[in-house]
Chain A
Amino acid sequence: MFDFLKGYDLLAAFWVTVQLTFYSAVGSLIWGTVLAAMRVSPVPLMRAFGTAYVNVVRNIPLTVVIVFTSLGLFQTLGVTLGADDFTTINFRLAVLGLTAYTSSFVCEALRSGINTVPVGQTEAARAIGLNFPQVLRLIVLPQAFRSVVGPLASVLIALTKNTTVAAAIGVAEAAALMRVMIENEAQLILISAIFAFGFICLTLPSGLLLGWVSKKVSVRR
């Protein structure tokens, strides 16, 4: 029944999916935090830049971003991100695109986390004489981080699902392999079930786990 699987490396394809998720998650956490810092900063110009970035990037389809990295950045402008062979170039371009896109969601999650901290908390902190870094470090951030676990988990899982878009620029991840297998084998239902199962294994446990963690650490108000 599973003879048709011979010659296809399913695990390798899902491993590429995991790698894409990992690198993009790290990248978008960094860039998203920078953006969130800009959006709450006291400098109006930085706030404007952060807001503009989020509103523009969030409203462009990820597919457009990813295809642009290949057709626009690589083929037109010759950006290779320091790689020589096509596989690595496409992989890095996909990570770049996913990072640029996902960080706008990370930024919004972080900002809404900061916004959940009641104004009274900081007012009280200032009233007992804490300065700005102290207010941020001791009062706002510890509470913000707790309420941000849930939204960030949603972003991470959405990212895992979004990595399939990288198939559009020829990254050999799971959806790309599924396309090839559907083309070559007459086992549509079985192939689809296998890939569906693979993604459920990646998303559902992390969804349940992180949902549980976010309930555990959330601040009761």
Chain B
Amino acid sequence: MSSQSVLYDVPGPRARRRNALLTVVFLAALAAMVWWVVQSLADKNQLEWVKWQPFFTDSRSWSTYLLPGLENTLIAAALAMVIALPLGALFGIARLSDHWWMRGTAGLVVEFFRAIPVLILMLFANAAYSEFTDISPDSRPLYAVVTGLVLYNASVLAEIVRAGILSLPRGQTDAAKAIGMRKNQVMRHVLLPQSITSMLPAIVSQLVVIVKDTALGGALLGFSELLASVRPMSANYGANTIASFTVVAVVFVVLNFALTSFASWLEGRLRRGKRTTGAVVGADAVDQLATPGEHVGRDELDE
């Protein structure tokens, strides 16, 4: 780990003794905490095997509650990503336009949707669908969740696309113009194809954000995704709230951790790559790009 080498030397005998002591103290504190948690769980009978057993021995808990929930989570996330990506690309490119009115309009839209919580957008979409359309109340939550996610994430993806295009070396544009390409051709044949590779890590890690935000629909709009399966499960399996939450959380962590690892693997590959320009919008840039008023400029990406 690089942080280690920055902060201290390789420990000598005294430092090793001190570290061993710290390890023991920390281990004791950790054990005390774990013991306290286990005790308070046991006091409320949350550790009984009956409450955990459905998830391990009964496949119906998975086929009735968890997997359908997970399926809805994934459907909503995938739909949101698929719709938001072209929209984001459109706005991202519009923000780089040579026409001030195009840049301005796209900038205004992006800033607006980046500055608003995604929940507000979902609540609005939900009410708007019930008021202005005749989408059945059963499928309305899915529509509302996807719409909210698309509006918010398209604006974040627009910034990712913009950063991706700006991350390419300037020589690419110069060379394309030198062989007589027009603005539009430069974008379509040179910049966009290369920037897609460079922003893949950021797009994958934005997918994690989308997956996490689908849970909002479960808690507030009656969308039957993974989190929403907790209530029926704990009602059916003898108030096993803690067990249900643990299983749901584990599923989310496994899914998102896989996506995050994939994103950083991609990033490492792209940075080392010989066939690309080495330009990349890192997975870490996503949080910054989701912040209203923030822009990642060319100079920041060059380092």
Contact = CB atoms under 8 A, between A and B. Distances in A.
B249 interface: yes
Contact of B212 (A40, A46, A62, A199): A62
A163 B120 CA distance: 11
B287 A105 contact: yes
Residue from B2, B287, B295 having most chain A Cβ neighbours under 10 A:
B287
Which secondary structure characterizes the binding site on chain B?
helix
Contact of A153 (B41, B219, B230, B291): B291
Interface in B199-215: 208, 211-215
Interface in B19-42: 19, 22-23, 26-27, 30, 40-41
Contacts of B245: 64, 68, 71-72
A92 interface: no
B257 A45 contact: no
B292 A207 contact: yes
B127 interface: yes
B124 interface: yes
Interface stretch (B8-16, B161-169, B183-191): B8-16
Given A58-B260, A175-B123, 13 more contacts: A46-B23, A55-B257, A68-B249, A76-B44, A115-B3, A121-B6, A150-B288, A150-B294, A158-B287, A165-B219, A168-B216, A204-B293, A211-B294
B219 A42 contact: no
10 contacts: A42-B15, A59-B260, A60-B249, A61-B216, A72-B242, A76-B239, A111-B3, A119-B6, A175-B117, A199-B116
A67 interface: yes
Interface of A: 39-47, 49, 55-56, 58-64, 66-68, 71-72, 75-78, 105, 108, 111-112, 114-115, 117, 119, 121-122, 126, 132, 135-136, 140, 150-151, 153-155, 157-158, 161-165, 167-168, 174-175, 178-179, 182, 188, 192, 195-196, 199-200, 203-204, 207-208, 211, 221
B115 A199 contact: yes
A192 B303 contact: no
Nearest to A186: B131
Contact of B46 (A58, A77, A140): A77
Contacts of B1: 47
A112 B303 contact: no
A66 B214 CA distance: 14
Interface of B: 1-9, 11, 15, 19, 22-23, 26-27, 30, 40-41, 44, 46, 111-112, 115-120, 123-124, 127-128, 131, 208, 211-216, 218-220, 227, 230, 234, 239, 241-242, 245, 248-249, 252-253, 255-257, 260, 284, 287-288, 290-295, 303
A59 to B, nearest CB: 4
Contacts of B213: 61, 63
Contacts of B8: 42, 132, 135
Main secondary structure of the interface of A (DSSP, over half): helix
Contacts, number: 199
A41 B4 CA distance: 8
B252 A64 contact: yes
Contact of B11 (A42, A61, A66, A162): A42
Contacts of B40: 77
A59 B220 contact: no
A188 B128 contact: yes
Contact of B215 (A47, A61, A132): A61
Contacts of B290: 154, 158
B132 to A, nearest CB: 9
A163 B249 CA distance: 20
A162 to B, nearest CB: 7
B257 A59 contact: yes
